[in-house]
Amino acid sequence: MTGIQNCIVFEPPFVVTHIMRGKNVVVLTGAGVSAESGVKTFRDNDGLWENHRIEDVATPQAWQADPKLVWKFYQARRRQMNEVEPNSAHVAIAKLESELDNFTLVTQNVDDLHERGGSSLVIHMHGRLQTLRCEKTEQTEHRMADDDLNDDYAYCNCCVNAHRMRPDIVWFGEMPMEMEEIYESVESCDFFIVVGSSGHVYPAAGMVNVAKSVGAHTILVNYEMPINGSDFDEIHLGKAGEILPKLVEDWLMR
């Protein structure tokens, strides 16, 4: 165990004494939780942003300027969803949910691996790959049939004259989803746990400070020290799929 600034960094074998039963727990996940399933993160070596410029594929301006490029980028990621499986970190988080009465899972991830790992209530603050959004009405539809996954545009079922659909993704410059509900949970939590996020993207990266301001104990599980590491009370460095199952077991001890 080593002390870095104001937080404690745990290295295996670690000792954890928190009992989370009866407490309000919020978990916020990022791309790192899906890394061991084979889904690329954004900012690691060979991450998505090493091969693509954010401005070219993840902004409303990019969709305006070159929708075909943006569409192909997200279609490739939508197709990949059919090839990957949840890993033991997703399952451990689902176990935490199933054992606690007051639990909220917020994810920045647009995949459905938390749901397939057993989580029943997942707040996708950056949208979802499985759904598409009508450009005219903004209604979303679950569209994962084979026909929906090729590189041709998809058209909605909600309008009389079907309109083109866009990825149901929160792009840079757009408002994240369900923020009111998220802040309500964070502002009343006893434990705030972040798994697999580099802390670069706000407002997600700032939620640890909101949790701290209401006296919550803040915990990070991440492969390496993130940019906002010093905001956490307790840090566990390593692969989430390897260390989270044991942590969850400890947190749920009676």
Binding interface with ligand APR (CB under 6 A) = 30-32, 35-36, 41-44, 47, 108, 126, 196-198, 200-201, 222-224, 226, 239-241
CB 149 → ligand APR: shortest distance, Å? 21
Rounded to the nearest 10°, the torsion over CA 80, 85, 87, 89 is: 70
| Nearest residue to ligand APR, scored by beta-carbon proximity | 32
Q: With respect to ligand APR, which residue has the nearer C-beta, 35 or 219? A: 35
Write down the catalytic residue from 126, 142, 163, 200.
Answer: 126
Nearer to ligand APR, 190 or 242 (CB): 242
- The separation between CA 49 and the C-alpha centre of its own chain, rounded to angstroms, equals 16
Q: Which residue, 47 or 118, has its beta carbon nearer to ligand APR?
A: 47
Convert 11-35 to b/e letters by CB count within 10 Å (16 or more is b): eeebebebebeebbbbbbbbbbbbb
Going from the C-alpha of 150 to that of each of 68, 111, 136, 231, the distances in angstroms are: 12, 18, 22, 43
Handedness of CA 231, 232, 233, 235 (dihedral sign): negative
Q: How far is the CB of 167 from ligand APR (least distance, A)?
A: 12
Q: Where are the alpha helices (DSSP H) in the chain?
A: 32-35, 48-51, 54-57, 60-65, 67-80, 88-99, 113-116, 179-186, 207-213, 240-251
Cα 154 from Cα 145, distance rounded (Å): 11
CB of 62 to ligand APR, least distance (A): 13
Q: Is position 126 annotated as part of the catalytic site?
A: yes
In whole angstroms, the minimum distance from the beta carbon of 132 to ligand APR comes to 17
Residue (77 or 136) nearer to ligand APR, CB: 77
Q: How far is the CB of 36 from ligand APR (least distance, A)?
A: 5
The gap from C-alpha 115 to its chain's centroid, in whole angstroms, comes to 12
User: What is the spatial distance between Cα 55 and Cα 218, in angstroms, rounded to a whole number?
Assistant: 33
Q: Which two tokens stand for residue 104?
A: 């909220």
With respect to ligand APR, which residue has the nearer C-beta, 86 or 226? 226
Catalytic site positions = 126
